[in-house]
Amino acid sequence: MITAQQERVRARFPDTPTSELKLLPTVLTNKMGTKPVTSEWLASRHRAWVESLPEFLVPTVVTVKGRQVTKMLPFDKARIFPYAYRHTYAQRHADAGVAPDALQSLMDHRQLTTTQQYYRVSETRKREAVERVTAMQFDRNGNRVWRKAQALLDSEHARRAIGEVQVPCGLCTEPTNVQAGGHDCPVRFRCVGCDHFRTDVSYLPDLEAYLADLLRGRERLAAFAADSWAKAEAMPSDDEITRIRRLVKRVREDLEDLTEEDRIQIKQAVTTVRRTRRVVSLGLPRVRPAQDLRPERPAG
Choose among 217, 238, 226: nearest CA to 282: 217
The whole-angstrom separation of Cα 10 and Cα 72 is 45
The overall average pLDDT reported for the chain is: 80
Yes or no: say if 15 and 33 are a contact pair by the CB < 8 Å rule: no
pTM: 0.50
Does the pLDDT value for residue 10 go beyond 80? yes
Does the pLDDT value for residue 149 go beyond 70? no
Task: Provide the CA 15 distance to its chain's centre, in angstroms.
Answer: 50
pLDDT by residue (tens digit) across 40-94? 999 999 999 999 999 989 888 888 888 888 889 999 999 999 999 999 999 888 8
Q: How confident is the model at residue 26 (pLDDT cuts 50, 70, 90)?
A: very high
pLDDT of 147 reads: 52
The whole-angstrom separation of Cα 86 and Cα 206 is 32
pLDDT by residue (tens digit) across 228-279? 888 888 888 888 899 999 999 988 888 888 888 788 878 878 877 777 665 5
Q: How far is CA 20 from CA 11, 60, 105, in A?
A: 14, 46, 26
Return the DSSP state at 110.
S
DSSP of 22-79: -SSB-SSS-SSS-SBPPHHHHHHHHHHHHHHSPP-EEEEEEEETTEEEEEEEE--GGG
Does the pLDDT value for residue 293 go beyond 60? no
pLDDT by residue (tens digit) across 108-121? 999 888 888 888 77
The whole-angstrom separation of Cα 209 and Cα 206 is 5
Q: CA torsion angle for 130, 131, 135, 138 (degrees, to 10)? A: 40
Yes or no: say if 26 and 12 are a contact pair by the CB < 8 Å rule: no
Mean pLDDT, range 124-134, rounded to an integer:
68
* Longest Cα separation, the chain: 86
Mean pLDDT, range 196-212, rounded to an integer:
88
Q: How far is CA 56 from CA 69, 77, 84, 215, 295, in A?
A: 19, 9, 18, 58, 68
